[in-house]
Amino acid sequence: MTSGSTSLLAGRAAIVTGAAQGIGLAIATTLASHGASVVIADINREAAEGAAAQLTESGRTASSIATDVTDQQQMANAVQHCIDTHGRLDAFVNNAGVARDATMLKMTLEQFRTVIDIHLQGCWLGTRAAAAAMRESGTPGSIINISSTSGKTGLFGQTNYSAAKAGMVGLTKSAAKELAKYGIRVNVIQPGLVRTALTESLPQHIWDQKLSEVPLGRAGEPSEIGDVVLFLASDLSSYMTGSVLEVHGGRFM
């Protein structure tokens, strides 16, 4: 769908965190391709500026802002930047994340806290900042959180990541209940094995093992996550809130 020129989001504006590369950039590209003005919010200022320039050069509308998702003020700044630059805020995608894998007995407290802070605290800060702006403007907005199947099943060496991703599901459902009366929808996506620079760097035997667990027989593409975000950001999902959408090719059904 990213190559199309449909206008499901014409006149709307969206923020995507961690959008300078990988799945985040694919999400931003898809939203922009369907008419949205997009803010690339990423801790890497230079990469964010480059991604926004790339979208602009392709005829899309995009801007960027350096954003540490663990910082309350910077998240508020990202929301204000979107409103100041693009006139409104209709969709907010909490996508930023990191991995600090280690078995529990070897994992440091710093590794645990870093992952929890970026994924879970960052999601909470983003959801809260976006909801406040949407409520104030009366916008029936959409907040979309990017979790993981790791939060459903747990994965070896990921007590931090799995805990954070599971927490995002609970956060989503609670926020959906609180914000429904304002017309603000909150949903969460749990991607499975997706082809990114990170997953492609895995040793071949690990990649093959993971791939063997996918009934559809292939890894997902970042653009396929972007398509599901597009669905949740658009009016096509207008009666959905508090939903968990698993996008994993059947893995961990």
Of 188, 185, 187, 189, nearest to 238 by C-alpha is: 185
Of 164, 205, 171, 200, nearest to 188 by C-alpha is: 171
Per-residue pLDDT band at 211 (split at 50, 70, 90): very high
Q: What is the DSSP letter of 21?
A: S
Instruction: State yes or no: is 239 an active-site residue.
Output: no
CATH number for the domain harbouring residue 153: 3.40.50.720
Q: Is the pLDDT of residue 123 over 70?
A: yes
Q: Is the pLDDT of residue 5 over 60?
A: no
pLDDT of residue 253: 87
Per-residue pLDDT band at 126 (split at 50, 70, 90): very high
Domain carrying residue 180: 13-246
Number of domains in the chain: 1
Averaged pLDDT score across all residues of the chain: 95
d(CA 251, CA 146): 17
d(CA 145, CA 148): 10
Sheet-wide strand order for 185-191? 61-66, 37-42, 13-17, 91-94, 142-146, 185-191, 244-247
Q: Is the pLDDT of residue 35 over 50?
A: yes
Asked if residue 1 is part of any domain, the answer here is no
Asked if residue 2 is part of any domain, the answer here is no
CB-neighbour burial class of residue 127 (10 A; exposed 0-12, middle 13-18, buried 19+): buried
Q: Is the pLDDT of residue 4 over 70?
A: no
Instruction: Find tokens 């996918």 and name the residue.
Output: 214
Asked if residue 4 is part of any domain, the answer here is no
CA dihedral 147, 247, 214, 23 (to 10 degrees): -60
- Among 92, 124, 161, 231, the active-site one is 161
Asked if residue 191 is part of any domain, the answer here is yes
Are the C-beta atoms of residues 181 and 223 closer than 8 Å to each other? no
Q: Is the pLDDT of residue 238 over 90?
A: yes
Asked if residue 145 is part of any domain, the answer here is yes
Asked if residue 3 is part of any domain, the answer here is no
Asked if residue 204 is part of any domain, the answer here is yes
pTM for the predicted model, two decimal places = 0.95
pLDDT of residue 203: 87
Asked if residue 179 is part of any domain, the answer here is yes
Question: 128-152 pLDDT, tens per residue?
Answer: 999 999 999 999 999 999 999 999 9
CA dihedral 149, 155, 158, 161 (to 10 degrees): 10
